[in-house]
Amino acid sequence: MTRSSLPRSGTFSEPAKKHLGQHFLHDRGIISDIVHAVDPQPGDRLVEIGPGQGAITFPLLDRHGELTVIEFDRDLIFPLTEAARAHGTLEVIHRDVLTVDFSALAHNGGPIRLVGNLPYNLSSPILFHALDHAPAIRDMHFMLQKEVVDRMAAGPGSKVYGRLSVMLQAYCHVTPLFTVPPAAFRPPPKVDSAVVRMVPRDPASIGVVDPAVFAHVVRDAFGQRRKTLRNALSQLCDSPQIEAAGIRPDARAEQIEVADFVTLANQLAARSA
Ligand code: SAM
């Protein structure tokens, strides 16, 4: 990893970069609510995604003394590192977060706790990247578009219940914490935001036997949203197999509980093993 090979350029006065999803938090009340929600404890291994100009970074450092951050914008690396000296020990990883192996970070001191006001254009890829490393992660506190948090936490029957809800809830407890208005950021985003807590489930209790089969079932089920499961899953299984999982073949994906998707996927995985 490229750790702190710093270009000596850039200041915090540079304009926000839209293509990097830069909306910098400036509302002290919200920042304090985030630090309070994370509630760092001695020995915790905190990792922040996208520290930007340090809005959350410095209060976390003041509270915890040490922190690892992952930032892609080279212009922010030097000013961030300089400003951090007054607050504590900052390890800077200058990389695209999607290329960072969270499991390798965890090897240096137990499961990591992820924090981040995420670039909204990358929120789904970052969430799925984190899921891939779930055993290395103790918990996550993320600021996301409120609409995404609503989808993550939705249950069957909700209009926004979908692939994201099922995939995340199968592996994590998802708890929306609070909503954040556009005025809390500079520049303000066009939409409301929300902070969400995600805690990976105990691997022994997850129940998903084959993650690839599970992902395939969920993708196909919601890929054809208006179709019955019998039709949407026709490439994967037939009606008797759907019924064997306790699911009506004429139901639609948005009516099915997460646990039932897991049962169906496990039966298909057992059949192909
Ligand atoms: N944490 C700061 C705050 O709350 O003010 C900045 C949040 S801003 C919404 C998102 C941050 O993620 C920016 O600093 C941006 O440069 C960074 N970022 C964007 N894409 C990234 C990527 N692929 N990997 C790591 N950081 C990224």
Say what the pLDDT of residue 1 is.
41
**Class of domain 211-272 (CATH, top level):** mainly alpha
Say what the pLDDT of residue 273 is.
73
**Ligand 1 proximity of 22 Cβ (cutoff 6 Å):** yes
Q: Whose CA is nearest to atom 10 of ligand 1?
A: 119
Verdict on whether the full-model pTM lies above 0.90? yes
Confidence of residue 153 (pLDDT cuts 50, 70, 90): very high
Nearest Cα neighbor of 184 from 196, 195, 199 is 195
Contact predicate 60/40, CB 8 Å? yes
Query: Which of 2, 12, 22, 99 most suits a substitution to test ligand 1, by most atoms within 8 Å of the C-beta?
Result: 22
ipTM above 0.95, yes or no: yes
- Region of poorest pLDDT, from 19-28, 191-200, 201-210, 222-231: 201-210
Domain boundaries 3-203, corresponding CATH code: 3.40.50.150
* H or E segment to which residue 222 belongs: helix 211-223
Secondary-structure percent of the chain, ordered helix, strand, coil, rounded to 5:
45, 20, 35
Query: What is the phi-psi region of residue 248: left when phi exceeds 0, alpha when psi lies from -120 to 50, beta otherwise?
Result: beta
Q: What percent of the chain has pLDDT over 70?
A: 94
CATH 3.40.50.150 domain locations along the chain: 3-203
Buried b (16+ CB within 10 A) or exposed e, 66-91: ebbbbbbbebbbbbbbebbeebbebb
pLDDT tens per residue across span 51-101:
999 999 999 999 999 999 999 999 999 999 999 999 999 999 999 999 999
Beta carbons within 10 angstroms of residue 144's beta carbon:
24
State the average pLDDT for the chain: 92
**Ligand 1 proximity of 25 Cβ (cutoff 6 Å):** yes
Query: Which of 33, 69, 72 most suits a substitution to test ligand 1, by most atoms within 8 Å of the C-beta?
Result: 72
Say what the pLDDT of residue 110 is.
82
CATH 1.10.8.100 domain locations along the chain: 211-272
